[in-house]
Amino acid sequence: MVSLKTEDLTPVELQNYLQYAIAPRPICFASTIDAEGNINLSPFSFFNMFSTNPPICIFSPSRRVRDNTTKHSLENVLQVKECVINIVNYDMVQQMSLASTEYAKGVNEFEKAGFTMLKSDLVRPPRVAEAPVQFECVVNEVISLGDHHGAGNLVLAEIKVIHINEAILDENGRIDQHKIDLVARLGGDWYCRVTNDNLFKVAKPLAKLGIGVDRLPHSVRFSKVLSGNDLGMLGNVEHLPSDEEIDLISTHTEVKEVLDATIGDTTNRERELHELAKKFLHNGAVELALKVVLL
């Protein structure tokens, strides 16, 4: 493993390592306005939500690594403490990228990138009509992290109004993760798209107390077949099955086939049972898989 001290890296080198490793990052497409009424629209991938009550998002218009200058968005929120955070989806990603061009002060990126300005209900900056979700925010605070090349400026934006395109809602009025078609920022010119093919669920252990990987037998914890993800799923069950439940699983058709084919061959039996358990895990049958590996 390569180990690097950040103090030995240039800002450009450090930025490269960080942005490639800390990814994907959601994109804050922020519209702001200065005291004279000049509108700015710019994307930031140093962005996330940090509180639900109050609803706070933070984005960071960092000082430019190249020449240490500040961005118009930062100057604007220091003058007019309001912004709109527009969520970016795939249909608008190329226009969003165009809006990141360093146009001169006073140039409206809405017009340059071909976006539609939509009047906000509460704040002065306009919304991006094409964005599937728009957050009208007041800026509670701007925290400078330094005055050197690449130093961040944390904009603490409190969400006051949420606008959602009805086309991305499910039958219960909630945002459908399959419909919103989000994109995220990676390193360099790289982005990723959240499509149906790469969506998956991980059961949250909040509603129950998982037994933990440490409760699994040694042969399971150090299996040559089961991955760390597999062990994580097994360790998330609430309790180990009883001996009777484990014995009963031997009558399962696929399990019985493995047992019959490996009589007297304990090494291959364990491997094949673990492979079968892995198959069950990938199909979501966690409790069944656990019984198989405990045989």
Spell out the SS3 assignment of 224-274: CCCCHHHHHHHCCCCCCCCHHHHHHHHHCHHHHHHHHHCCCCHHHHHHHHH
Give the confidence band of 232 by pLDDT, cuts at 50, 70, 90: very high
Angle, CA 145 vertex, CA 140 and CA 151 arms, to 5°: 120
Q: Tell me how far apart the alpha carbons of residues 111 and 117 are, in angstroms, rounded to a whole number.
A: 9
* Mean pLDDT, residues 113-128: 97
The pTM for the full model equals 0.85
Q: Is the pLDDT confidence value at 166 over 80?
A: yes
Question: Two tokens at 82?
Answer: 């309001």
Q: Is the pLDDT confidence value at 206 over 80?
A: no
Q: Is the pLDDT confidence value at 202 over 70?
A: yes
Q: Is the pLDDT confidence value at 163 over 80?
A: yes
